[in-house]
A and B are shown apart, each in its own frame.
Chain A
Amino acid sequence: MSGPFDALRTQLLGAAEALAGGPAALPDILSGIVDDVDHALREPLEIFPVCHHSPASAVAMVRRLRELQPKVIYLELCEDLAPLLTELRNCRLPVALQAFASELSGFPVESAPLSVIAPITEASAEYQAISYALETPGVELVLVDRSTDHVFQWQPEVPSSEGTASEEDDLHGDAVGVEIGDLRPRFAELEEHLLHHGRVRHWSEWWDQYVEQPLAGADYDTYRQVMVLIGSLFRRLAPHDSRRFASDEDRERYMWTRIREHLATSGAAPGDCLYVCGAFHAASRLPEVGSAPGTPDFAITPRTGTTWLYGLIPSSQSAIEAQFGLAPGSVSIAGATWQKSLTRTGLKPFQLDGQKGGKKRAAVKLPAPVAATAVEDHLTGYLSGPPALDGLDEEELRGWCVDIVRLARRNGYLASTADAIAVFETSILLAGMRGRARPTPYDFQDAAVTCIEKDAVPGRRDVRRLCEILLGGDRIGQVGYAALPPLARDVYDRLAPLGLNLEQRSIQRALLDLAANPELAACSQLLWMLRYLLPDHAVRPIMGSRKLGEKHIQESWDLDLGRHQRTIIELGYEGVTVEQVLEQRLRRAAWDPKATAATALTAVEDSLLFLHSPRLTDELGARAVELLAAERTVDGAPEVLRRIRRLLAHYRSSAPTLPAWCESFVKTGYAHYCTLLPSAFVADDTGVRQVGAMLGFLFSMESLALSLGCDRAQLEIAVRQSHPESPAKIALLWAARHQLGVLPLADLRATVDDLLGNPLIVPAFPQYVVGFIQSLESVPRLSPFVVETLSKAFARLPDPVLLPWLPSLITTLKDQAAELVPVLTREAGRTFPGTLAGVDAWVAPWNAPPRKARAAAVATAPGAGPAGALLAAHPVTADAVAGLLGCEGEWAAPAAVPEGAAAVALLTAHPETAGAVALLIGA
């Protein structure tokens, strides 16, 4: 085989021989890479090797597209992303194409949501190819790489999010990144070796110095040969037994299979086509690679049943660097280099019509295509000499130096013109020491750090970061309105009445005066829904809240939608409107396998707050009833009680009747908690708070439940069946029995006094008090007694018992402050004197001598008084009731108390009131 590269091959083999001590594979590798280049160039379908974020690739692409003007472009990009490409024109680059799936089929469910992103920057070869293809009539763009579904099929383990990226770098979320032309040594030793001998610090710098700059001004043939050469080198030195390598080979088979399919169906001539792929893939020698008909095809596996949704999300240069492990600033520097080489070469790049951001360029008419020339060896020249670098651009360097000092001053550094001079001098010295005539941005960065950075960083950014900002800044992309999903567009439309620029990347303060502008209520409603759906920083209420029964006349919000565009776009994958997404979320919460009655009630409350959809609320309520009836534990009882109380209060105040589910919930709850009460009293794993809440439910809903047909006997029996053993629950049971009327207060007091008097029980006494405190909610009329017991405990418990208990008492009260503290303080306020003077004369009510039973006479004569007189006068009703109850009518003789005697006695004793009334009415 003779070819243009024979001489080079011989020379390299000679070199391999000279290095006889080297590895045995060396001759193979050296001649192999030349063979690879030769092979790639022989392919009739022109292969265009690219590297990601390489301005040289982009420049070469512009040139080649002008010369060749291909009719079909095959691009290494997931094939299912194709429909998105035309939307790029509505965006400000960089943005990322995203495929998103939350409902998985064929993948492990716990890996949801799956997300793949492919960022596109302006300074990239792929953007040039896309723009050319979409803007030139008659040109077809075919994406040939495996679909996003295959990305996950071929990648068994789904990476978990690490969450280390800063907010600025986190634009992509947890997505898996794919990009065109990933070109980097595949094992660490090779990279380390290259960096060491190249005397550079990181990979981007090596690439810039040894590939990017020499190729910046090179002709297309040199560019192509060198890129394939490097691709081949890294390919041959990559570990071949890795899963990644296997997946790369499969991708190559996939892409060529797709290309051959397209060639066969469209009938395009390979000479009219251009295949844009990473240099790594360009050097492939697999049998399935090649456009010749008859090349073996790759069996493409079907996609899973997962539904993928597609969209664009904003990206940024620093997010790309973070996602793909590039050196900070490298993408920004590549962007700046691209702009510079455009100015220098006078090339007109391709641009999508209506592209936002960047310079507006008039569409250029393409010159006639240039005929292909024979392949010549351009590699020898590249390999034999040191990289030919540009000379010193003094003007540019001076500009950088002045700007960095200015920037440093603004960030708190004490930098001056003297520093600018020093940075200039040091940059040149450093570049000279590193063997470059012209300081690279990295030399400049080092020089600036040396001269300006002192022992501490005064502000938020250090000099290194400032250099990155200076040399390119971080461009942050934005997805234009037209390219947004319907939900996001709807959000922007509905927030338009606020009159804010929501696309701006800063926090916007929205002031909603709902009293003066009632039309803003809809905005407020939407903001609350967004707040519910996006709990982080996209929208934040500063003033205002949304609770049942509250209505605000003013609200103020911090809106940061510009920086959280991605979250809104991803919300758009879940539904068409915010309401729909919210409804889905609420349903999902209520029908979750782990859902409890409390979560369902939360969903009910949220639906009332945000959606005003009685149908949904009823469904959720019915679900809550279902869940409650099926629950076997009472862990959620406090939450259930709190929520159902709030909901009942809401319905009572806003609707004439309770909804059916509410009634059903109360009925079910009454029966349910009655059933569980005896076991809850005994079970060790059920806390006293839970039992307290159960009793709270039973007692406070009792009237409603009884009116709905429940039977009180059930509760009485349940209480009678309860035999708790722990002191706190015993105290709760006493409270319950008191509420049911079977344990009079006097007996209870005597029992408690006995406990306090028994030295064997004193250490456990605080536990009893805890039980009484928990009963405050269920048996409110016991609150004077609870205050009394607490006071006695403080008075009589010895310090070794009292003091260790205090912290737990305080934390209990703090946890349940909303329910317990108001009752307790109100009662304490009634019991204890309010003034200092009152304290001296104060005697605790329970220590006071019992007052004379004044109304004893009244109590002994039930029939006395006006009511008795009335009933005696009209006995028919009472007799009918007695008949219904199965009693015989027995009428006691009315007591001989004169009608109104008590009132007369009172008025005679205190005539002032009556006198004053008489005066008022002028009698």
Chain B
Amino acid sequence: MTDMLRAPAEVKYAEELDWLESVDTGPKPFSWRLSPKMVRLFILGSERADGLEREIPQKWFGDRSFVERAIVTLASDRGLLLIGDPGTGKSWLAELLSAAISRNSTLVVQGTAGTTEDHIKYSWNVSMVIAKGQSRQSMIPSPIMTAMENGVIGRFEELTRSTSDVQDALISILSEKYVSIPELEDDNIVFAKPGFSIIATANSRDRGVNDLSSALKRRFNFVRIPVVTNKKSEAEIVRFRTEELLRRHNIELEVPPTLLDVLLQSFADLRAASASATSDDERLESALSTAEQIGVLEDAILHSTFFGAAALSSQTLASSLVGSLARRSPEDLAILNKYWHGVIEPRSKDAGGEWNGFLEGGRQAIATLS
């Protein structure tokens, strides 16, 4: 147990990575810590057919070919751009990839409207410049530059949130693989070591805000991560992530599978309703992603642990769901009210079980918020 609230993947899975490295006999590109096959195995988990002594759990859920394509892209000359809807696990995949390949997933630049070229290249420690003048010591390298110097993977989150001119600073980094520092007279070029590459993520809902230039596009391979619609794998993801969160909070609580079904079903219903709505007012503001489901479940678990009977009930789940999804009043509340009375109520009459408590809890929560 570390004293970090959320340990990066390379710390969290350090022991597993060490073990994989020790048994890895495959060829490793550049300075990679694991061979591509082992990276895949680390991310997608092992099977009996792999013939390993210990079982490696699956950490990212999705199509195998996405992971394979992502790994080979990093082994090639190009950067990797993971693109997809919010909550589809892009950043998590990026973190796992860099942890497995270079044991360092913390070299991250977060793209925002305020990101400048300094954040991508380097900046100066002003007081040291005043004291000692411009030198490599007074320079503050960006995470990307650090990644270049060390020959590891650098990450750029939400690439399309930053402005186009800032994005284009990546072009030369990705093609020439060096950054020159014109302020210095000598030692003024930082070359990337073998093993350096960039994993960027972009939100497909941001399309059109700051579109990538075609020059940058062709330096990235795009891997599109689709929204998980398969109920089985979604259940798998929710269970996996919740367990992880519970472990982080040191909470011992069982999530009954029937409740998980209720959660998945209600999200599936709401998604279908959102898809068929014609205007934004008839649609929940939330994207209803898998990540949001995890949030709802986590919230319900925490609530029942600290204020409830130390067991997760359908009432708590319902009120947590209403609480998380009702963002706009009255639009979202109206939609939820309609859903509760139009779908949950008949279902509770037909199916009963957890749906009864879910109906009751949701009604109360909606009444409290209205």
> Which residues of A does B touch, CB under 8 Å?
197, 199, 201, 414, 416, 418-419, 422, 425-426, 429-430, 432-434, 446-447, 449-451, 453-455
Q: Is the CB of B218 within 8 A of A416?
A: yes
- Closest partner residue, chain A, to B27 (CB atom): A432
Report the separation of the CA atoms of residues A432 and B68 in the bound assembly, to the nearest whole angstrom.
Answer: 11
Most buried by B among A201, A419, A434: A434
- CB B203 to nearest CB in A, in angstroms, measures 11
- The contact sample of 11 A-B pairs, CB cut-off 8 A, is A201-B65, A414-B214, A422-B77, A422-B78, A426-B76, A426-B221, A429-B72, A429-B76, A430-B68, A446-B69, A453-B222
Residues in A with CB closer than 8 Å to B37 are 433
Residues in A with CB closer than 8 Å to B73 are 426, 450
Residues in B with CB closer than 8 Å to A450 are 69, 72-73, 221-223
- CB A64 to nearest CB in B, in angstroms, measures 35
Residues in B with CB closer than 8 Å to A432 are 36
Residues in B with CB closer than 8 Å to A447 are 69, 72
Residues in A with CB closer than 8 Å to B69 are 426, 430, 446-447, 449-450
Report the separation of the CA atoms of residues A199 and B37 in the bound assembly, to the nearest whole angstrom.
Answer: 12
Q: Is the CB of B218 within 8 A of A414?
A: yes
Q: Is the CB of A455 within 8 A of B221?
A: no
Q: Which of A414, A416, A449, A451 meets B78, CB within 8 Å?
A: A451
- Closest partner residue, chain A, to B207 (CB atom): A455
Q: Is the CB of B65 within 8 A of A446?
A: yes
- Closest partner residue, chain A, to B47 (CB atom): A197
- Closest partner residue, chain A, to B219 (CB atom): A418
Residues in A with CB closer than 8 Å to B78 are 422, 451
Given contacts A197-B47, A414-B214, contact A455 B68 (CB under 8 A): no
- CB B108 to nearest CB in A, in angstroms, measures 22
Q: Is the CB of A433 within 8 A of B36?
A: yes
Residues in B with CB closer than 8 Å to A419 are 218
Report the separation of the CA atoms of residues A422 and B75 in the bound assembly, to the nearest whole angstrom.
Answer: 11
Report the separation of the CA atoms of residues A451 and B223 in the bound assembly, to the nearest whole angstrom.
Answer: 9
- Closest partner residue, chain A, to B72 (CB atom): A429
Given contacts A199-B64, A419-B218, A426-B73, contact A433 B40 (CB under 8 A): yes
Chain A interface, >50% SS class: helix
B338 within 8 A of A: no
Residues in A with CB closer than 8 Å to B77 are 422, 425
Most buried by A among B47, B49, B73, B223: B73
Q: Is the CB of A429 within 8 A of B36?
A: yes
**0 or 1 for each of B21-56: is its CB under 8 Å from A? (1 = yes):** 000000000000000110010000001010000000
Report the separation of the CA atoms of residues A454 and B223 in the bound assembly, to the nearest whole angstrom.
Answer: 8
Q: Is the CB of B72 within 8 A of A430?
A: yes
- Closest partner residue, chain B, to A456 (CB atom): B207
B115 within 8 A of A: no
- CB A874 to nearest CB in B, in angstroms, measures 83
**0 or 1 for each of B196-214: is its CB under 8 Å from A? (1 = yes):** 0000001010010000101
Residues in A with CB closer than 8 Å to B214 are 414
Report the separation of the CA atoms of residues A422 and B78 in the bound assembly, to the nearest whole angstrom.
Answer: 8
Report the separation of the CA atoms of residues A419 and B220 in the bound assembly, to the nearest whole angstrom.
Answer: 11
Report the separation of the CA atoms of residues A450 and B218 in the bound assembly, to the nearest whole angstrom.
Answer: 11
Q: Is the CB of B218 within 8 A of A429?
A: no
B120 within 8 A of A: no
Report the separation of the CA atoms of residues A449 and B65 in the bound assembly, to the nearest whole angstrom.
Answer: 11
Q: Which of A430, A433, A451, A455 meets B204, CB within 8 Å?
A: A455
B107 within 8 A of A: no
The 10 closest A-B pairs by CB, nearest first: A429-B72, A450-B69, A450-B221, A433-B36, A454-B217, A430-B72, A454-B222, A425-B76, A426-B72, A414-B214
Q: Is the CB of B222 within 8 A of A455?
A: yes
Residues in A with CB closer than 8 Å to B65 are 201, 446
CB under 8 Å from chain A, chain B span 64-94: 64-65, 68-69, 71-73, 75-78, 83
Report the separation of the CA atoms of residues A451 and B70 in the bound assembly, to the nearest whole angstrom.
Answer: 11
Report the separation of the CA atoms of residues A747 and B107 in the bound assembly, to the nearest whole angstrom.
Answer: 97
Residues in B with CB closer than 8 Å to A449 are 69
Report the separation of the CA atoms of residues A673 and B72 in the bound assembly, to the nearest whole angstrom.
Answer: 82
- Closest partner residue, chain A, to B217 (CB atom): A454
Residues in B with CB closer than 8 Å to A418 are 218
Excluding A414-B218, A430-B69, A433-B37, 20 further A-B contacts by CB distance (< 8 Å) are A197-B47, A201-B65, A414-B214, A422-B76, A425-B77, A426-B69, A426-B72, A426-B73, A426-B221, A429-B72, A429-B76, A433-B40, A446-B68, A449-B69, A450-B223, A451-B78, A454-B222, A455-B202, A455-B204, A455-B217
- Closest partner residue, chain B, to A430 (CB atom): B72
Report the separation of the CA atoms of residues A453 and B83 in the bound assembly, to the nearest whole angstrom.
Answer: 12
Q: Which of B47, B68, B217 meets A433, CB within 8 Å?
A: B68
Report the separation of the CA atoms of residues A433 and B78 in the bound assembly, to the nearest whole angstrom.
Answer: 18
Report the separation of the CA atoms of residues A449 and B64 in the bound assembly, to the nearest whole angstrom.
Answer: 15
